[in-house]
Chains A and B, each alone.
Chain A
């Protein structure tokens, strides 16, 4: 890809990228959020068209106008958010658009199932072709995505953050599969921000920063620290600075909790733990092992089947969300757009989503705009929300990191006893991540109990004092963060046992 430029309106996402990959290699595309990696690959796959620049495949100039053309050029892409229809089976998803037909346009499912099974055996990606996507684990779903590309004869495979949703063990299997594919002559491009995987798996690495490519290197020649500096353009501090924890009384006590999902299946299967004031408990685990349902139960977004949840000794399960909040629980939700903010409302209105009924913000039902804006400006200053005079701006105009700050400002300023943070740094750049971690530790030092649920193991390792590992709806272990390491947690996350 030569001299690629791409703009979205005023946003110059890609300025002058030159990117080349050798056949049969595993090539990493490394960069922070918003650097332009996904956009570049979307251009390669035909989802976007570059504003300027050319693409050559095997030395020939090509024009990739759409995914259809990309597929014709034997390019396949596995997206970060899977492009799978949940209600369809594996076979249906793989065949979509290139169906095997037998007369009258009827889909030949028997033949399809056979061929896909054959393909999956060939590449070591075993799969049950008749299963529905929504009934499958995420790691399996990813296999379907890869098979989708291979089914169409992909010679070049693009993967966007492929390990974000895998357990350490699944990641190992994944790396093995990729190496096999590369040995077969397939060219693999991996978009990632995970430095250890770049080192372990990739032959080459191209670093992109703010839409420009900085350097392309042989990964063996550099270590992780160096790669990280190249990625952000400055020295990166690893780990979070914090004093040792000094926990006091118990704030949250969960006993024998059982929670079912909408289909009546047990998702939290007898969980017990406690969090004390002044400590951070991190819940580690692969996605869909019950963490979501656990948090929903604590915040009363979901009914429990049995067991108790106590805040300061008072039972709060199966009451109302308002009750949980007034009992001293604040939550930073996983999806700030969906459940954390009202995008069309102003920053001030968002900051007061919980206390708009209190004096002086409203009196006898009438809201006092001035007082509300004043309060918001104060908070914006305290939490360094940019731009500083954003009180009346619609919150959707803020960047992701600043939006998260608005939520954090709201959730910490009413002085909760328990602060729950679910995936609080998702989609944020390194600076914002640093900030969020700092706040969590700050809250803990102020004497709050903090429950951190995250799919990023490194985040849990850095921030938490204690780590609870969830597997299959149970807590399989609670360990001191200082006394364990990523390997052990990784084992526990997949049902293995402690060292």
Chain B
């Protein structure tokens, strides 16, 4: 892909982003909030302190991954609306392994990660299998599976051997199973001394960093490599564009479809794992509804144009405006729901951006015809 194509893909998305914020600003103004001060407060909430930047990065991890999950599925021709359920399975299984088993450090984390990711992958593969075997639309099955995962989560959450009544949360994942960075260290004498000396360091450590972001980056690179450089990626991309031809040339589309849903599920599950092992209180909480990361993955993928590397930036971007919006709400009073509206507008503009090309083409044609008449 040469530079020209890259720009072609960037411009509609950039316009959509600008358009979303612009129209959102108008909406704010109509409702009596000052868009300029709101957006300024938002930017403040992102960049003002190292702590904020750290927060943006930490909070971007689940978004990057669910976005990657949906983007990957899209590239394979599937709509993974089940990322929400796969995420929950990831959280559930990671908590079970992390809280109930005792293993040495690092190994404990790796084991719970692997088991949970595979479990979430299997959950995704169910939808893939049903599509392959029975031809059932994966959107319908995924919606059902989301709800089944939700109630399964609640069922196990309420189990006496996992539930902690006073906190209305599950048992905590043991320290050996967490993905935190230097958590033990910062409470030692040596650690406290270093923190007192260095404000940037202390800021970052105080926001409870974890390895999640780096693991997410690894995942992005892995998926990028898988899709664009390997034979399996070739098959998956082919299936995503044209199933019939893929079948015709002998590719095992059935197996690839289930595999694709497995991978997508695993990635979404990974998001859940990293959340529960990396973010305090390291416990399952009482879910009133869907946590939403899975559904957010959809727009993250769209803004990233379904490219794996794009998901990295998309995830960071939306994490930034999310973090910024809480500051905006506390400082200026603008409700953070405006982010949802802006997001919706951005998606809407992306939707019609492809059509924008048609409008331009039509205008070009009219110009040409007028010239032709002049020649006469």
Contacts and interface: CB of A to CB of B under 8 A. Distances in A.
Q: Do chains A and B touch in the complex (CB under 8 A)?
A: yes
B230 A367 contact: yes
Interface string B232-245: 10100110011011
Interface stretch (A29-37, A210-218, A337-345, A429-437): A337-345
Contact of B241 (A10, A345, A357): A345
B245 A367 contact: no
Contact of A9 (B231, B238, B361): B361
Nearest to B362: A9
B192 interface: no
Interface stretch (A59-67, A175-183, A200-208, A348-356): A348-356
A331 interface: yes
Contacts of B250: 320-322, 324-326, 354
A343 B242 contact: yes
B189 interface: no
Contact of A338 (B237, B238, B244): B244
A343 B238 CA distance: 10
Interface in B343-370: 361, 364-365, 368-369
What interface size band does chain A fall in? Answer: 20 to 34
Contact of A7 (B245, B251, B369): B369
A460 B244 CA distance: 27
Contacts of A326: 250
Contacts of A356: 231, 234
Contact of A366 (B230, B238, B361): B230
A489 B365 CA distance: 49
Contacts of B230: 362, 365-367
A224 interface: no
A311 to B, nearest CB: 14
A51 interface: yes
Contacts, number: 77
Give the interface centre of B232, B238, B246, B248 by most chain A CB atoms within 10 Å.
B248
A222 interface: no
B238 A353 contact: yes
Interface in B8-55: none
A5 B375 CA distance: 14
B246 A342 contact: yes
B229 interface: yes
B252 interface: yes
A405 B58 CA distance: 52
Contacts of B234: 349, 356, 367
Nearest to A12: B372
B245 A340 contact: yes
A220 B361 CA distance: 45
Contacts of B6: none
B340 interface: no
A284 to B, nearest CB: 24
B241 A344 contact: yes
A5 B372 CA distance: 10
A24 B368 CA distance: 39
B241 A301 contact: no
A349 B251 CA distance: 14
A82 interface: no
Interface residues of B, number: 25
B74 to A, nearest CB: 14
A340 B246 CA distance: 9
Nearest to A6: B369
A188 B143 CA distance: 55
Contacts of B245: 338-342, 353
A9 B248 contact: no
Contacts of A366: 229-231
B229 A321 contact: no
B373 interface: yes
A326 B372 CA distance: 56
A339 B231 contact: no
Interface string A304-324: 000000000000000011101
A488 to B, nearest CB: 34
A209 B373 CA distance: 23
A362 B231 contact: yes
Q: Is the interface of B mostly helix, strand, loop or mixed?
A: helix
A345 B364 CA distance: 28
Given A353-B238, A367-B230, A339 B244 contact: yes
B232 A365 contact: yes
B348 to A, nearest CB: 25
B231 A367 contact: yes
Nearest to B364: A9
B375 to A, nearest CB: 11
A340 B241 contact: no
A123 interface: no
A366 B225 CA distance: 9
A278 interface: no
Given A344-B241, A356-B231, A339 B248 contact: yes
Contacts of B252: 320, 322
Given A338-B244, A339-B248, A342-B238, A365 B365 contact: no
B365 A9 contact: yes
A401 interface: no
Contacts of A344: 241
B46 to A, nearest CB: 37
A416 interface: no
Contact of A325 (B232, B249, B364): B249
A92 to B, nearest CB: 27
A326 B245 CA distance: 17
B331 interface: no
B100 interface: no
B98 to A, nearest CB: 33
Contacts of B361: 9
A301 B248 contact: yes
Contacts of A322: 250-252
B254 to A, nearest CB: 10
A377 B357 CA distance: 32
Nearest to A331: B248
Contacts of A473: none
Contacts of B206: none
A321 B248 contact: yes
Nearest to B237: A345
Contacts of B247: 301, 321, 339
B248 A333 contact: yes
A27 B364 CA distance: 36
A340 B368 contact: no
A326 B234 CA distance: 20
Contacts of B365: 7-9
A52 interface: yes
A330 to B, nearest CB: 10
Interface string B155-178: 000000000000000000000000
Contacts of B369: 7, 51-52
Given A356-B234, A357-B231, A342 B368 contact: no
B249 A354 contact: yes
Give the interface centre of B245, B246, B250, B373 by most chain A CB atoms within 10 Å.
B245
A325 B251 CA distance: 11
Nearest to B239: A342
A294 to B, nearest CB: 16
Contacts of A5: 372
Nearest to A323: B250
A205 to B, nearest CB: 29
A8 B369 CA distance: 10
Considering the complex of A and B, which 7 residue pairs feature the smallest CB-CB distances, nearest first?
A: A322-B250, A353-B249, A339-B248, A325-B250, A321-B250, A342-B242, A339-B244
11 contacts: A7-B368, A8-B365, A52-B373, A321-B249, A322-B251, A338-B242, A339-B247, A341-B242, A353-B238, A365-B230, A367-B230
Given A9-B365, A356-B231, A356-B234, 16 more contacts: A5-B372, A10-B368, A52-B373, A301-B247, A321-B247, A322-B250, A324-B250, A325-B249, A339-B245, A339-B247, A340-B248, A341-B245, A342-B246, A345-B238, A349-B234, A367-B230
